Structure 1
Amino acid sequence: MENKMIEKCPICNGKMYVSVLKCKECGIEIKGEFPISQGGASALPLEQEDLAFVMLFLKHEGNMTKMAQELGKSFYDIRTQVREINRKMDNEKEENKMRIVESLEINEKEEKPSSIIIRKMNERNGTAFCKMLKGDEIEIRLTEKGVHPVSFPGFVCEWEIFDAIMEKAKELGGKMYRGDAGAQGGAKIGSRELPVDSIDGFISLRYYGKQVGDTTTRRSTYYAAILAWAGLCENCRSDGNGGYILV
């Protein structure tokens, strides 16, 4: 039921304002201090173009990737416009930010890990610097096949493998050992030092043509670092059984 607007407080006679705007369809809420509209005018202090953008934002439930596709803009352009609208609405304080940002985070999590990495690399024009576990940074470059760590000539971390690692880590309860120390030290796949469900053991068996009992190349260091750079996991030092990722 829609109620008639009350412009003044019935207790102190102070000026009333709208503090929450809510979409009936998807439930998204926008918090702020909006003046009560007069004569059907918009309660949002925005130009028509910005209002159309907000409507599109609600339509896609905060999924900026879909908005970018519909408008023919980059993800960075959409994110910039969201921030500009927040500024116009005086929502720059953290506690007043549009609550639709919460849905953005959810939508990002719904994307494939590889899609998120592609988007983040595109935002940086295909080149970025990724921090390794020891603190040093390496240059990474976007390729059609995956992400190329410049310090590892000829090697590309492949899109399909990023997705498979994340899926396997979730199957393991969110924690997956890298196996990098074992691989680097010449341990055999399936041994205590290089389990089949470690990153290096798992991807070597599934994607790099290895079998249980073989040795393999250390690749997990790069996959784990790039996944952590993209915000998809936490890359952790050894807990006594080896380094690992948490998702």
Structure 2
Amino acid sequence: MHKVITKCPVCTKEMKIMKLKCNHCNTIIENEFSISKFDRLSKEQLNFVEVFLACRGNIKDVEKQLGISYPTVRGKLDEINHELGLAIKKDTRKEKEKIMDMLENKEISSEEAINLLKKL
């Protein structure tokens, strides 16, 4: 089964679901149906959300489960929040300082630091 396409491949505007069909009795319902915010997430993002929820929001557990670093977990959370329209504007100074401290302490690579700084 395929995931619902939420953006038009031609103009990238949001698409609408107009028809539903029961595979058992062939009942067809036509109308304009809404798409959930979560339908906009990629399979990878949905998998991350499932792991995050299964870990009850514990970032250390998410790191272990997915085998990724703390900055990567934070980056994925920020990306998903942005996609869901939940992104909060923040003072990036503290975030930049944290990234630089992690780099200085060799907790992350310079490439990871660059990617995190670009996301701010």
- Of structures 1 and 2, the one with the larger relative CO (CA 8 A, separation 6+) is 2
TM-score by structure 2 length?
A: 0.45
Greater percentage in helix:
2
TM-score by structure 1 length?
A: 0.23
